[in-house]
């Protein structure tokens, strides 16, 4: 079985993470297709909360940056296979309520050409 060629690379995923760490919504959203979806790590359904379309995804990411103003992703590694990608990372920051956040997580990415059509995000649950 051959894997189709794709415009996506590890460099693409590294650039996406850099845009997230810069809290640059415009740069982040340049990676997303108009019909994208984002399955958040929390929400009312088994897949979290599903945000549909660039407007909803942008609003969800803006809420993340507002809720954890110093959020940062590091200790990362990425890989790509065809039109699928994976990014593992350590997220950390402090919520606006003063609660520290530190958790391992990953994003599962699906691409159409060089645009993200699906971001599926997972965080480890940290029990204090």
Query: pLDDT digit string (tens) for 60-99?
Result: 999 999 999 999 999 999 999 999 999 999 999 999 999 9
* CATH, residue 71: 3.10.450.50
Q: Is residue 73 part of a domain?
A: yes
Q: Is residue 4 part of a domain?
A: no
Distance, first Cα to last Cα, the chain: 46
Which alpha helices (H) appear in 1-128, and where do they start and end? Answer: 10-21, 25-30, 53-67
Q: Is residue 50 part of a domain?
A: yes
Sheet holding 84-94, edge to edge: 50-52, 32-39, 115-123, 100-112, 84-94, 72-81
Query: pLDDT digit string (tens) for 97-125?
Result: 999 999 999 999 999 999 999 999 999 98
How many domains does the chain fold into?
1
Residue 87 structural domain: 10-123
């Amino acid at each position: 079985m051959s894997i189709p060629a794709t415009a996506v690379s590890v460099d693409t995923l590294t650039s996406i993470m850099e845009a997230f760490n810069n809290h640059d919504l415009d740069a982040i959203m340049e990676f997303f297709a108009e019909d994208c979806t984002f399955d958040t790590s929390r929400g009312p359904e088994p897949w979290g909360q599903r945000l549909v379309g660039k407007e909803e995804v942008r609003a969800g990411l803006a809420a993340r940056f507002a809720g954890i103003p110093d959020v940062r992703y590091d200790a990362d590694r990425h890989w790509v296979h065809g039109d699928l990608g994976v990014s593992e990372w350590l997220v950390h920051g402090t919520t606006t309520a003063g609660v520290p956040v530190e958790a391992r997580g990953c994003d599962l990415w699906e691409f159409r050409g060089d645009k993200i059509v699906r971001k599926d995000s997972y965080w480890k649950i940290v029990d204090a």
